[in-house]
């Protein structure tokens, strides 16, 4: 196999990340693997999920964060862009609205936006990717569990492990303890409890340069340990592969793991997972209204291929359905092993 090693310096922006991904030497390109699987060009099969990044501001600075989110980020979706999103939600048969960030709750218009979505479509699934610690970070967020329940929100939250050591190493000192406190608050209003209909799903990201283990096995272990140690209940565990972009890519380069990790992703390519990648059924909306094939392409500033519908204000269903999905080497992360999506393993 040819060397994958690239220049050994931290990556400062998406342009540098793309340069590294594109100009390193690989045994295969992602496009070539799709061609072997009769999947190139990769095209949408539906527009079921509208994933909306309402801002990059966050109360945490997680080591694996592909958004590079943190307290110092100022990119916040305004109400004008939110209203354009609402127009699309009103006119389209979207199955899931997936709100992400940063910490989406830190957007000053977050609650208004959620309430407007629920008024427009009382039955649509609204997912909020809550980092848990936001619930206990400030008294003004303490009522989030009640707000989530009132609006029948599906809560999806990252919890790297069921012990403090591994969780805090990845997400920051004290994050585990605050996460456990927030999970108790969610359980108290019914989240994760059988028969309530209030869905609480957890997300597992590996803490190093390796692929996640069996989703079913990890879910069983998490459920057993969290219930026994902390009396916490939840519905499902999603395993998500860390993609080689942003902070995780910086870690790979600094630690000398970039070459071996990319080899692992490429060697683990799964054609079935490739056929079921999330970008085939979703559109990602940036904080400024720009449209992307997925949240990862958004962070690499790779907009949808169609010139006619690159902004939420220019939404055109047929044009978006007819587009070719933009792919690059980072896409191997979504097709390795059992596959990876915002909803966990895909095969």
Give tens-digit pLDDT for 82-109.
999 999 999 999 999 999 999 999 999 9
Higher pLDDT, 141 or 67: 141
Six-digit token string for 338:
């059992």
185 pLDDT above the threshold of 90: yes
How would residue 335 be classed by pLDDT, with cut points 50, 70 and 90? very high
43 pLDDT above the threshold of 90: yes
How would residue 10 be classed by pLDDT, with cut points 50, 70 and 90? very low
CA distances for 265 relative to 49, 210, 212, 237, 241, angstroms: 26, 9, 12, 22, 10
Give the β-pairing of 200-204 and 236-239: parallel
17 pLDDT above the threshold of 70: yes
Estimate to the nearest angstrom the gap between the alpha carbon of 135 and the chain centroid: 19
Q: How many CB atoms lie within 10 A of CB 341?
A: 20
Residue with tokens 């699987």: 37
How would residue 13 be classed by pLDDT, with cut points 50, 70 and 90? low
Q: What are the backbone angles phi and psi of residue 344, rounded to the nearest 5°?
A: 90, -160
**Domains of the chain: residue spans and CATH:** 14-335 (3.20.20)
pLDDT tens digit sequence for 216-253: 999 999 999 999 999 999 999 999 999 999 999 999 99
11 pLDDT above the threshold of 90: no
């Amino acid at each position: 196999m040819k060397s994958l090693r690239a220049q050994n310096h931290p990556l400062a922006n998406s342009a540098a990340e793309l340069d590294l991904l594109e100009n390193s030497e690989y045994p295969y390109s992602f496009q070539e693997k799709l061609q072997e699987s009769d999947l190139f060009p990769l095209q949408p099969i539906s527009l079921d999920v509208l994933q909306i990044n309402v801002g990059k501001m966050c109360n945490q600075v997680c080591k694996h964060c592909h958004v590079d989110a943190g307290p110092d980020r100022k990119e916040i979706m305004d109400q004008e862009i939110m209203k354009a999103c609402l127009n699309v939600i009103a006119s389209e048969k979207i199955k899931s609205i997936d709100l992400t960030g940063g910490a989406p709750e830190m957007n000053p218009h977050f609650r208004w936006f959620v309430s407007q979505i629920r008024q427009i479509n009382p039955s649509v699934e609204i997912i909020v990717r809550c980092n848990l610690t936001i619930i206990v970070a400030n008294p003004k967020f303490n009522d989030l569990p009640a707000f989530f329940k009132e609006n029948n929100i599906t809560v999806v939250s990252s919890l790297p492990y069921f012990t403090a050591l591994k969780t805090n190493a990845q997400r920051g000192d004290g994050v585990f303890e605050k996460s456990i406190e927030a999970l108790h608050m969610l359980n108290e209003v019914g989240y994760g409890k059988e028969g309530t209909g209030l869905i609480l799903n957890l997300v597992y990201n590996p803490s190093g340069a390796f692929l996640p283990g069996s989703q079913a096995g990890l879910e069983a272990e998490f459920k057993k340990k969290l219930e026994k140690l902390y009396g916490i209940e939840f519905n499902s565990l999603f395993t998500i592969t860390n993609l080689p972009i942003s902070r995780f890519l910086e870690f790979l380069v600094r630690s000398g793991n970039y070459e071996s990790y990319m080899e692992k992703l490429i060697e683990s390519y799964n054609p079935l997972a490739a056929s079921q990648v999330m970008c085939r059924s979703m559109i990602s909306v940036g904080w400024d209204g720009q449209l992307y094939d997925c949240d990862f392409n958004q962070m690499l500033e790779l907009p949808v291929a169609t010139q006619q519908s690159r902004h939420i204000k220019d939404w055109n269903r047929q044009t978006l359905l007819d587009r070719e999905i933009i792919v690059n080497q980072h896409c191997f992360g979504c097709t390795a092993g059992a596959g990876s999506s915002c909803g966990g393993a895909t095969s």
